[in-house]
């Protein structure tokens, strides 16, 4: 039989203990590494299950459910999609990406929570302000935003993906639709985003919310900080509007494979040999030619941990019409203006996924139900180096 495919957990189990001994890590990164190492191993306990149709029996170890674990996103993704299905509207959907310049990413290295919170706030203000402008859409819109902090090569690359329905509610209570295939002018969005973010960043610095170390320690001085940001005032910030989705069904298909991504999936890992880790990555300058990058295990772990979000930080947020405080009422108004009852909105594919996961359908015959025969409690022993987690 071929050897099991390489997983992120294997790298952490093999090289994580040495990395933790030689690096000072915050508590949430310690917990992240331990969770991924223990995921689907006897350390977390498990259950023995038996199929009532084909008599297949196997042991299923429990998942860590950490949001950075590449093996624990399937159920979370299915449940999230099930919740979002009834909130989609029968309109064109747009995808807008806001990216922070490299100079700001360097500041985010030591100030993740502060910079990422500013990113959410200023992107929301940018989209809502331009959409309300009568020269553009003249309506209140709603959207949700997903934070990604990585590029394909694992470098720190903070950017926000916003999925926006193509229209909104005007001040007189009418539905205003976007022009087909066009949402809002990208250059206008970019310049307002740049101004709002730089203003908010200067304010955060003045209030003492930012911290600097190493090469950036000199930026603790306000004059040096202003000088560092000055070139960014004339630089074009990247705001990219992707081609619109064809409709709500396409939005679901896209979100199903996108919203709960982690910095690197197990499928991209190639090899772990002689203290090095190799993984596939896509160079967007040559997208047809996938490349393989090799890093030392220490550097690979360091770059992965760059994308560990602070505990409790929400990486998916809802704004405008979709804000949690009034989402249900606003969506009901939108549906009435669009004359589309909720039942007509979309297919229920994500619901069937959740139902199948909840019933523990047999992975071998695909028909029977797995019945629980025995429960194993968590153990406190060492994490094994290799466990069959299929």
> CA gyration radius for the chain?
23
Say if residue 189's pLDDT is above 80.
yes
Give the residue-averaged pLDDT of 194-206: 97
327 domain residue, yes or no: yes
342 domain residue, yes or no: yes
289 domain residue, yes or no: no
105 domain residue, yes or no: yes
Q: So what's the pLDDT on residue 346?
A: 46
Domain hosting residue 205, numbered range: 80-263+306-350
Query: What CATH code is carried by the domain that includes residue 114?
Result: 3.40.1310
Tens digits of residue pLDDT in 58-86: 888 999 999 999 998 877 888 888 788 87
175 domain residue, yes or no: yes
Identify any residues that bridge with 59 across adjacent strands, giving them in sequence order: 48
Q: So what's the pLDDT on residue 351?
A: 45
288 domain residue, yes or no: no
CA distances from 268 to 42, 288, 331, 378 (A): 26, 16, 39, 30
Contact indicator for 320, 142 with CB cutoff of 8 Å: yes
291 domain residue, yes or no: no
Q: So what's the pLDDT on residue 340?
A: 59
Q: Indicate the pLDDT class of residue 381, thresholds 50, 70 and 90.
A: low
Of the two residues 111 and 73, the one the predictor is more confident about is 111
Instruction: Quote the number of domains for the chain.
Output: 1
359 domain residue, yes or no: no
Point out the least confidently predicted range of 67-81, 122-136, 219-233, 334-348: 334-348
Q: How far apart are CA 134 and CA 156, in angstroms?
A: 37
């Amino acid at each position: 039989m071929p050897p099991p495919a390489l997983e992120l957990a294997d790298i952490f189990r093999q090289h994580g203990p040495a990395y933790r001994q030689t690096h000072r890590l915050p508590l949430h990164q310690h917990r992240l590494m331990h969770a991924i190492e223990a995921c689907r191993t006897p350390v977390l306990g498990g259950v023995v299950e038996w199929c009532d149709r084909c008599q297949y029996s196997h042991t299923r170890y429990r998942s860590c459910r950490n949001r950075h674990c590449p093996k624990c996103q399937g159920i979370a993704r299915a449940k999230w999609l099930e919740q979002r299905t009834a909130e989609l509207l029968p309109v064109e959907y747009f995808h807008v990406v806001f990216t922070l310049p490299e100079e700001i990413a360097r500041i985010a290295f030591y100030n993740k929570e502060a910079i990422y919170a500013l990113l959410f706030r200023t992107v929301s203000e940018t989209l809502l302000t331009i959409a309300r402008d009568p020269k553009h859409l003249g309506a209140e819109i709603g959207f949700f935003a997903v934070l990604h902090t990585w590029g394909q090569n694992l470098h720190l690359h903070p950017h926000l993906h916003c999925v926006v329905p193509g229209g909104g509610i005007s001040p007189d209570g009418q539905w205003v639709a976007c022009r087909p295939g066009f949402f809002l002018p990208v250059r206008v969005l970019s310049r307002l985003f740049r101004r709002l973010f730089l203003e908010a960043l200067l304010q955060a610095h003045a209030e003492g919310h930012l911290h600097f170390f190493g090469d950036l320690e000199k930026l603790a001085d306000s004059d040096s900080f202003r000088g560092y940001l000055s070139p960014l005032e004339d630089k074009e910030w990247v705001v990219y509007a992707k081609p619109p989705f064809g409709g709500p069904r396409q939005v679901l298909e896209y979100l199903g494979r996108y919203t709960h991504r982690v910095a690197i999936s197990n499928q991209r890992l190639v090899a772990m040999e002689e203290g090095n880790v190799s993984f596939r990555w896509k160079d967007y300058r040559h997208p047809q030619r996938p490349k393989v990058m090799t890093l030392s295990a220490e550097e690979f772990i360091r770059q992965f941990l760059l994308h560990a979000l602070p505990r409790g930080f929400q990486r998916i947020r809802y704004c405008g019409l979709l804000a949690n405080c009034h989402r249900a009422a606003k969506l009901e108004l939108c549906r009435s203006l669009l004359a589309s009852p909720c039942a007509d909105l979309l297919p229920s594919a994500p619901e069937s996924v959740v139902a199948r996961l909840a019933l523990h359908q047999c992975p071998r015959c695909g028909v029977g139900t797995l019945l629980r025969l025995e429960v194993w409690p968590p153990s406190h022993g060492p994490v094994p180096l290799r466990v069959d987690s299929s």
